[in-house]
């Protein structure tokens, strides 16, 4: 795909929320093809001068709720899930660095041998220097999702928007896989999402975004070039606004 480098980004500081499943093959483990595709999408907006943060889940390795089915208590299971997000963060960092993009991993659990602590001012300084910042280990607390971590980090760093990378092209009034009459919203308010009980993020994350006036775009990350188009202001996906 030939890139138009003359395009100007609409957003200068963004946070991308990735599920762990995007890194794997059929949602599990790691796929070189999947990770390279993610990295190429990130490179396509980094070259525009966009300041990029990433929060990645750990579902391709283990979820806290899955661990409980093994007889493990929820706090321990959530800790296992947080460590899974750190593995994913290190994997993304390694591939981005190999591609020539300076990247830093910050974690909510102290791991000085493999990452920096999640420090707001340090993260902002990295962004100002053009480095990609990947946040791992969620918020460092059990019973809290990586969606909430994304809302927290974007609030702390004054991100202009959260880009929620999904496999669907936006938010629908009902499940488009089950109902052919499902209609996608181009724009929808925070209040209408609540009124319709649409699942965009978990409630804690959603409330934090609303309180801190951070819009969310839900879009199909798997269509090549969509990330760049979203950042440049094209009507892609669904915008959740105040």
Q: Residue 25: which pLDDT band, with cuts at 50, 70 and 90?
A: confident
33-54 average pLDDT score = 96
Q: pLDDT digit string (tens) for 114-136?
A: 999 999 999 999 999 999 999 99
| Statement: residue 172 has pLDDT above 70 | yes
Q: pLDDT digit string (tens) for 87-110?
A: 999 999 999 999 999 999 999 999
Task: Output the 3-class SS for 85-147.
Answer: HHHHHHHHHHHHHHCCCCEEEEECCCCCCCCEECCHHHHHHHHHCCCEEEEECCCCCCCCCHH
55-65 average pLDDT score = 90
CB 20 within 8 A of CB 61: yes
153-175 average pLDDT score = 94
For residues 162 and 145, give the distance between their C-alpha atoms in angstroms, rounded to a whole number.
15
| In the chain, % of residues over pLDDT 90 | 82
| Statement: residue 48 has pLDDT above 60 | yes
User: pLDDT at position 1, please?
Assistant: 39
pTM here? 0.93
User: pLDDT at position 2, please?
Assistant: 45
| Statement: residue 63 has pLDDT above 90 | no
């Amino acid at each position: 795909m030939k890139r138009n480098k003359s395009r100007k980004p609409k957003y200068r500081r963004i946070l991308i929320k990735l599920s762990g499943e995007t890194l794997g093959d059929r949602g599990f483990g790691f796929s070189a093809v999947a990770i390279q595709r993610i990295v190429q999408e990130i490179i396509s907006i980094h070259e525009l001068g966009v300041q990029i943060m990433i929060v990645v889940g750990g579902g391709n390795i283990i979820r806290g709720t899955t661990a409980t089915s093994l007889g493990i208590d929820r706090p321990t299971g959530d800790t296992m899930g947080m460590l899974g997000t750190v593995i994913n963060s290190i994997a993304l960092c390694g591939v981005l660095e190999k591609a020539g993009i300076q990247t830093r991993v910050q974690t909510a659990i102290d791991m000085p041998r493999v990452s920096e602590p999640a420090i707001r001012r340090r993260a902002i300084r990295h962004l100002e220097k053009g480095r990609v910042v990947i946040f791992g280990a969620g918020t460092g607390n059990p019973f809290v999702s990586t969606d909430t971590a994304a809302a927290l980090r974007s609030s702390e760093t004054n991100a202009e928007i959260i880009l929620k990378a999904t496999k669907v092209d936006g938010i629908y009034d009902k499940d488009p896989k089950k109902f052919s009459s499902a209609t996608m919203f181009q724009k929808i308010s925070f209040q209408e999402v609540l009124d319709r009980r649409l699942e965009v993020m978990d409630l804690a994350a959603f409330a934090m975004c609303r309180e801190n006036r951070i819009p969310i775009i839900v879009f199909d990350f798997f269509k090549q070039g969509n990330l760049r188009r979203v950042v440049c202001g094209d009507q892609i996906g669904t915008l959740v606004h105040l």
